[in-house]
Chains A and B, each alone.
Chain A
Amino acid sequence: MSKRQRFDVIGKPRRRVDGRAKVTGQTRFADDIVLPRMLHTKLLRSPHPHARIVAIDASRAAKHPGVHLVLTGRDFPVTFGILPVSLDEYPLAPERVRYVGDPLAAVIARDEQTAAEALDLIDVEYEILPTIASPEEALARPDVRIHDYNDHGNIHRAQAYEFGDVDEALAASDHVFEDIFFFEGNTHLPIEQHAAVAAVDGEGKLTLWSSTQVPHYVHRQMARALAMPEAHIRIIACPNGGGFGGKTDICNHEAVVSRAAMLLGRPVKICLTREEVFYMHRGRHPVLMKFRTGVNNDGKITGMHLQTLLDGGGYGSYGAASTFYTGALQTVTYELPRYRFEACRVFTNKPPCGPKRGHGTPQPRFGQEIQLDKIAEKLRLDPAELRLGMVAQPDTLTANWLRIGTIGLAECIRQVVDRSGWKDKHGKLPAGRGVGIACGAYMCGAGLSIYWNKLPHSAVQLLVDRSGQVTVFCGATEIGQGSDDVLAGIVAEMLGIDPFDVRCVTGDTGLTPIDLGSYSSRVTVMMGNAAIQAAERIRTLLVDAAAEALQALPERVVLAQGRVFVADDPGKGMSFREAVVLAESKFGTLGAIGSYTPPKPPARYKGGGVGPSPAYSYTACVVEVEVDPTTGWIHVPKVWIAHDIGRALNPVLARGQVEGSVYMGLGEVLMEEQVFRRLPPKLSHALVHKAPSMLEYKSLTALDMPEVDTVLVEDPDPNCPFGAKEVGQGPLLPVMPAVANAIFDAIGVRIDELPITPDKVLQALERKAKGENPRVGPDHFPDVPYPEPMRVPPPWEGGDGNAVTAPGRSAGRAKEVATP
């Protein structure tokens, strides 16, 4: 990588390369695609949360005028799934539906209206099965099995790890804090509804355009679901109208329109309704958590025992990975000498949960940061000072064998403390007003792919021709975060040209080398490193040819501002295009590839593949709140946030990611919830979504959004392109607990569950007035049958990263899981 410290493109605020298309309405999202002879699809979705399909008769629908095809589960004999360990979904359910909204038939017709009419003509006979509505019910009713491929009852995954003797550590501690927290589920709510168009090309091969964040994984799974060779399938990820993790799973409708197009020989489209997007879900898991944390009087943590229970919904989705993530990254923020982590995900009859921004880590972060606030209060320490005193150390291994590189967290804490006036505010504002602080850390790309392989995680191909045109190909997917801009910016910096002179071809499995997708905050680091390698190879050829023509030493030749010239004699040089012509004359057609594979993780125990990353980003956040004691209303006037980004490639976009994270975090802490209720038995007893609309699923409007003071802390990380870490997910993590802690500072009550709504505030204030424990939150953690922990000595207790005991029965098979 370039060792230069002065850049022409990197670090400069500038218009994103795809900005013009977005503001002129020219960006082509999946539903904007219209093809000749295109047909339209509607899905029949189950009205029952759990039922056996006794019979389906689609004959009336098939005869409806304008209907071209009706598909049912019989047309899809093979299951699919995003993770190899849970290939548990059918494109259309053949014999069992597992949540209200589970699709079981599809109508393809001349228009949406006709398809919708025909759905009413499909006759389905259901045998209603008992419904599992909660994790407690899932554990209590192992006889009512939602799936039968899992080991026991409705336990999808159960695992336990112990890194050093935690009981011993806690027994020797000055204090042990025990707290239970609950994080309610919520959903991504991208403004763009999922859409897909499938078409058969002139060679009889399939092309699928889809609003997906992961075209490569969709490619693999379409081949499986359709029993077609991958080489005959082309997946084009359209720019996503927001993703946030909601478009990282394989979608039923992607397989449905693909099969329909292959059968009919005509293009077939679907666009989900907003209500269907709520059923598609794959969002934040509801997680119940229990923390037992040992602390000494100086505020140092001695050990932690964390138990989590995840409500997974009706299918596996990313759940096996999500389960790991409720614990795996707890060790990278603060020093933690010993750690025991037990996690369990259960199936319930609700839409499947999966990854949402922060994937599995916001829930335990919420718990730990509130618990730290309680610890600071008890020990009479300043919560910011407490955190400063235990920030994890750079270039170390954690208790669970994750390698940490650079850490800018201490600087982040100092920045938000100074800028917010923390020292004059915490504990000192008038009643009803308060400030809270919290921190977080996130990975910059999952260290392992979701399927086991030794292949690169990202690849970039670069073509340069005599016209001076530079085209860069990469499978990475633009979901709004600016991945095209990162790609163009890096190539432009390396070749000394303008980002707008780079043409990006991305997210197309038929044209672009493989990138695993836009998830786990991996794109900047992995695609960026691959782009640097490809560009460096082209640069070497240009420099070689130019140096020869200029009669200069190659190491003195510079590429900058569209020119190729001699460093100490800038007049001696040529245009970029002239250099390309020389190089093409000398070497033949110019092309280069670059690829990136993350460093091998140090952990050797099974399950150690979830959590490793080339780098970790860090964030600190201070939130100020005003709480009205009569209404319980929480107002947030201002948020201060500092993010350790390594280096900001385009500060405009980086800041947008931070502010967008604050926005989404405030939604999660104050109002957003994906929750369900049982209909009365006389109405069916179904378990239905409480708010499957954008009006009822509350999210912040412009009027609710506070001012955000954003600081980007730049401490370039050697594993990252130009030192740049992630910024899309990490800044979300501290927002929710910072609000909870600010509420305590304002009115002296603890709300240990999300969302924190006015009714909970009033309930807590009422308890406070009565002299009871002024807290609202879960008070019971059920008896979860976790397996015996796999014991792995932490690095400082003489281990080598291997387990010293055999894994528990359900704890194995982790190596193939790895992920986002």
Chain B
Amino acid sequence: MNDVNLAEVEMRRNVRMVLRVNGEATEVLFAPYKTLLEVLREDLDLPGTKHGCELGECGACAVLVDGEPMLSCLVLAVECDGRSIETVEGLARGSELHPLQAAFADLGGAQCGYCTPGILMTAKALLDKDPDPGREDIKQAISGNLCRCTGYQQICESIEEAARRMRGGGADSAIPTPSGGAKA
């Protein structure tokens, strides 16, 4: 039995690599068939990145690779040697939320929160390139990220509000509310 196990281990030899994730270089040992998604979640203890299909269809696993949003379920981790990877865990500065995070929390951009990490990273890539995107640019940018809860409207508003705050618009704007108070 022991011999069999040893042969197995030999056959499934792991690869060793240094990955640069959220600015930290970390040595990691992983099975070569693993996707970046799997290595982040299972080998680097970064479960903030989610998965909804592992087929490149839902966008939940989006992370930034060298600043570009990529679906981590479609990227092999062995391809990421020497590249810079950003995940949701790296968004906040210490305990201070990134403006995107704060806006999503304040304005209903996150309901169940499962698609949220992927959308936050996709939105960060957008705002890094374009600090003042229009509604259509935002919709285009997140069109590969499926959300089943929100209907996207509060997500778009959250991204717009974050962009405004990042341009120096202050952090305490009124939270948009539905037309309320109508009395029956």
Contact = CB atoms under 8 A, between A and B. Distances in A.
Interface of A: 13-16, 18-29, 31-32, 34, 65-66, 113, 188-193, 239-244, 273-274, 406-408, 410-411, 415, 419, 479-482, 642, 644, 648, 651-656, 658-664, 693-695, 699-703, 705, 707-715
Interface in B66-109: 87-89, 91-92, 97, 100-102, 104-109
A715 B51 contact: no
Interface string B55-71: 10110100000000000
Interface residues of B, number: 73
A244 B148 contact: yes
Contacts of A644: 184
Contacts of A661: 151
B153 A659 contact: yes
Contacts of A65: 4-5, 8
B115 to A, nearest CB: 5
18 contacts: A14-B106, A14-B175, A22-B104, A22-B112, A23-B105, A23-B109, A191-B146, A274-B55, A651-B177, A651-B180, A656-B111, A656-B150, A693-B53, A694-B57, A702-B139, A703-B143, A712-B180, A714-B184
Chain A interface mostly helix, strand, loop or mixed? loop
A777 B176 CA distance: 41
Contact of A707 (B143, B153, B180): B153
Contacts of B4: 65
Nearest to A33: B47
A419 B182 CA distance: 13
A694 B55 contact: yes
Q: Which 7 A-B pairs have the closest CB atoms?
A: A25-B48, A480-B112, A22-B113, A241-B114, A663-B151, A19-B105, A715-B184
Given A274-B54, A694-B57, A714 B148 contact: no
A702 B149 CA distance: 12
Contacts of A15: 105-106
Given A23-B110, A655-B154, A193 B146 contact: no
A664 B148 contact: yes
B54 A273 contact: yes
A241 B50 contact: yes
Interface in B98-140: 100-102, 104-117, 120, 138-140
Nearest to B105: A19
Contacts of B97: 20, 23-24
A13 B151 contact: no
Nearest to A643: B178
Given A242-B112, A244-B148, A411-B182, A702 B143 contact: yes
Contacts of A26: 48
Nearest to B147: A191
Contacts of B169: none
Given A24-B89, A712-B180, A693 B114 contact: no
Contacts of B33: 113
Given A23-B104, A28-B47, 8 more contacts: A26-B48, A192-B50, A274-B54, A480-B113, A653-B108, A653-B111, A708-B151, A711-B182
A740 B151 CA distance: 20
B167 to A, nearest CB: 20
B106 to A, nearest CB: 5
Interface of B: 4-5, 8, 31, 33, 41-42, 45-55, 57-58, 60, 87-89, 91-92, 97, 100-102, 104-117, 120, 138-140, 142-156, 175-184
A181 B88 CA distance: 46
A23 B120 contact: yes
B111 A660 contact: yes
A651 B182 CA distance: 13
Contacts of B8: 65-66
Nearest to B117: A25
B178 A654 contact: yes
Contact of B182 (A34, A659, A712): A712
B140 A703 contact: yes
A29 B50 contact: yes
Contact of B48 (A24, A113, A239): A24
B178 A241 contact: no
Interface centre among A23, A243, A644 (most CB of B within 10 A): A23
Contact of A711 (B57, B92, B107, B179): B179
B153 A242 contact: no
Contact of B139 (A189, A662, A703): A703
A407 B184 CA distance: 8
A600 B44 CA distance: 54
Contacts of B100: 23
Contacts of B105: 15-16, 19-20, 22-23
Contacts of A705: 139, 151-153
Contact of B57 (A241, A480, A695): A695
Contacts of A708: 151, 153
A36 to B, nearest CB: 13
Contacts of B155: 702
Contact of A713 (B41, B117, B184): B184
Nearest to A699: B146
A13 to B, nearest CB: 4
Contacts of A660: 111, 148-151
Contacts of A695: 55, 57
A408 B184 contact: yes
A305 B181 CA distance: 38
A699 B46 CA distance: 29
Contact of B50 (A189, A191, A244, A664): A191
